[in-house]
Amino acid sequence: MKANYKQYILNFKQASGTSRGVLKTKETWFIKLADEDKVGIGECGLFRGLSIDDRTDYETKLQWVCDNIHIGLEKLVNELIEFPSIQFGLEQAFKSLNSETSFELFPSAFTNGEAVIPINGLIWMGSESFMNQQIKDKIEAGFDCIKMKIGAIDFQTELSLLKSIRKEFSASDIELRVDANGAFAPHEALEKLKRLAELDLHSIEQPIKQGQIEEMTRLCETTPLPIALDEELIGVFSVTKKENLLQTIQPQYVILKPSLVGGYNGSQEWINASENLGIGWWITSALESNIGLNAIAQWTYTLDSKMPQGLGTGSLFTNNFDSPLAVRNGDLNYDKEEDWKFNLDI
């Protein structure tokens, strides 16, 4: 078996805002396995500024993986505990290599085009008019679950935008989620959560920055609005530490990005720990190309969750790869009439 890797830069159609800054490009890496006439493709969705493996030796580690591919997936993954995005890329690549087709990793009713995955429509930060237009577009496109990133513009403006949705649509019509990306200061967070809770929101992701365990624990104890941990999960590697974190903070939900928490295996550990404590969860992509999104979506369908998932549509980028993935009426579909066009030479 041989293995190679290659960097790829995804270009946003328009700059996308979060409380951490404005995104114009997204770096990602691909691993290709070749064994006689079979090929496997995996995406290592490194997220600069967010991934725990945003390190100077990232590419060196990818080269080490390719040089040692003969030792097999299990041993490689054990050596990559601090490189969750490479773990996930390898899981995908081996799954792809051993599948009938390179891109059908988990054959199911979803990949047969017989079932869909409900997803949330994502509203990026920007001016009030820009965000308002996105909201209208998502509702017109048939989404009944909308996630709005907050924390970068004036809080009153963000409240007004959410109120404008609630004036027209009740909580039973449109489920509203917000994502603060850690933008609130601990001393102001509870008051802001009270204001947001008045609007019948489903939940808020990561209201304060990760690593403030005592503050987050107090917030989850007293919050009038369900809290979902997101960035808080990054860099927590062992099962014991995962269990301890959840037992300590007792959040209402956790949000799992396989590229950031160690792929399928790392995500499943979080799911098991959460379910043992009665904590809800859902799966989210992390701005991967359609290769990574496909790998996440197919696996997510097998989990049989009824909640809308946070799976990006792949339509954000100008240079994504053509795929059968398509969004219709707020659902992610796998259109078997469409072909894959992965034309990257690795």
- Collapsed DSSP state (helix, strand, coil) of residue 68: coil
Asked whether residue 123 carries a pLDDT value surpassing 70, the answer given is yes
Give me the percent of the chain exceeding a pLDDT of 70: 98
Beta-ladder partners of 54? none
- On the 0-12 / 13-18 / 19+ scale of CB atoms within 10 A, 106 is middle
Q: Which of 218, 160, 157, 211 is nearest to 187 (CA)?
A: 218
pLDDT at res. 126: 78
Domain range 117-334, CATH class: alpha beta
Average of pLDDT values for 280-292?
Answer: 96
CATH-assigned architecture of domain 2-97: 2-Layer Sandwich (3.30)
pLDDT at res. 17: 59
Chain mean pLDDT for the chain: 94
For 290-318, how does the pLDDT look when each residue is reduced to its tens digit (9 = 90+)? 999 999 999 999 999 999 999 976 788 99
Give me the percent of the chain exceeding a pLDDT of 90: 85
For 204-223, how does the pLDDT look when each residue is reduced to its tens digit (9 = 90+)? 999 999 999 999 999 999 99
Beta-ladder partners of 117? 332
- Whether 13 is catalytic: no
DSSP 289-313: -HHHHHHHHHHHHHTT--SPBB---
Q: How many residues are listed for the chain in this entry?
A: 346
Asked whether residue 242 carries a pLDDT value surpassing 90, the answer given is yes
- Whether 147 is catalytic: no
Q: Which of 231, 10, 307, 13 is nearest to 134 (CA)?
A: 13
Domain ranges of the chain: 2-97, 117-334
For 136-187, how does the pLDDT look when each residue is reduced to its tens digit (9 = 90+)? 999 999 999 999 988 877 899 999 989 999 988 999 999 999 999 999 999 9
pTM over 0.85: yes
Q: Kindly name the residue from 61, 95, 209, 257 that is annotated as catalytic.
A: 257
Q: Kindly name the residue from 61, 149, 209, 242 that is annotated as catalytic.
A: 149
